[in-house]
Amino acid sequence: MPKPTKGARLGGGPAHERLMLANLAAALFTHKSIKTTETRAKRLRPVAERLVTFAKRGDLHARRRVLATIGDKTVVHELFTEIAPQVALRDGGYTRITKLGFRKGDNASMVQMELVLEPVSPKVKSNKASAKASAPVVEETVVEEAPEAEVVETEAVEADAAEAPVEEAK
C-alpha cells in the first residue's frame, strides 16, 4: 500500500480516504472507466494497480486481500474473472489517466481514468540485439580507417612544414 501523505487527506481523515479510494476502485472495476478529479485519480492509481496485481495471482489469499479492501463480492468476482485474464500478459500500467479540462463549478482539473484492457504487443528483442551486434562491427572498421588517413595527412603537412623553413633559410 502506498504511504499516506501528511496533512489533508482528500477532504477527511485517513479512514475516510481509504474508504473513498476503495469505492473509486470498485467503480473503476465495475464500469472500466470513471470521471473524477486529477488528485483523486493520482491517489487511486497505485491502489487500483495493486488490486489488479493481486487479481492476476488469482489464489484464495489474494482474493481475500482484495475483499479486505473492496467489500463487494460481485466487484471482486468481476475483477478476478474478467479483468485479470485480460491483463495477464501486461507487466504493469493497468490504468490510464486522460485529462479532460476543468470543472465548471470550482475549476477542478477533471480526468478520465480507465483500465487498459488492450492486448499487449510483445516487443521484438531479436531484431534489436542483432542490430546492436552488427552496428559495432561497422563502427570499428570506420574508426580504424579514419585515424590512418589523418595520420598520413598529418605526416605530409609536417614534411611540408619541415621543408619550408629550410627553403627560407637558403
- Residue 81 pairs in a beta bridge with none
pLDDT at 151 over 60: no
Task: Please check whether residue 58 lies inside any domain of the structure.
Answer: yes
Task: Please check whether residue 92 lies inside any domain of the structure.
Answer: yes
Nearest to 16 by CA among 28, 27, 4, 26: 4
Task: Please check whether residue 144 lies inside any domain of the structure.
Answer: no
Return the DSSP state at 6.
S
Count of structural domains within the chain: 1
Task: Please check whether residue 93 lies inside any domain of the structure.
Answer: yes
Task: Please check whether residue 75 lies inside any domain of the structure.
Answer: yes
Rounded mean pLDDT, 129-156: 53
Domain that holds residue 99: 14-115
Segment 38-75, tens digit of pLDDT: 999 999 999 999 999 999 999 999 999 999 999 999 99
Task: Please check whether residue 111 lies inside any domain of the structure.
Answer: yes
Higher pLDDT, 72 or 135: 72
Cell triple for residue 93? 500500467
Rounded mean pLDDT, 131-156: 53
Angle between helices 60-69 and 38-57 (to 10 degrees): 160
Task: Please check whether residue 127 lies inside any domain of the structure.
Answer: no
Task: Please check whether residue 97 lies inside any domain of the structure.
Answer: yes
Segment 79-124, tens digit of pLDDT: 999 999 999 999 999 999 999 999 999 999 999 999 999 988 877 7
Q: How many residues does the chain have?
A: 170
Domain at 85, CATH number: 3.90.1030.10
CA distances from 113 to 29, 34, 44, 57, 100 (A): 11, 5, 9, 23, 10
Residue 118 to residue 114: CA distance in whole angstroms: 11
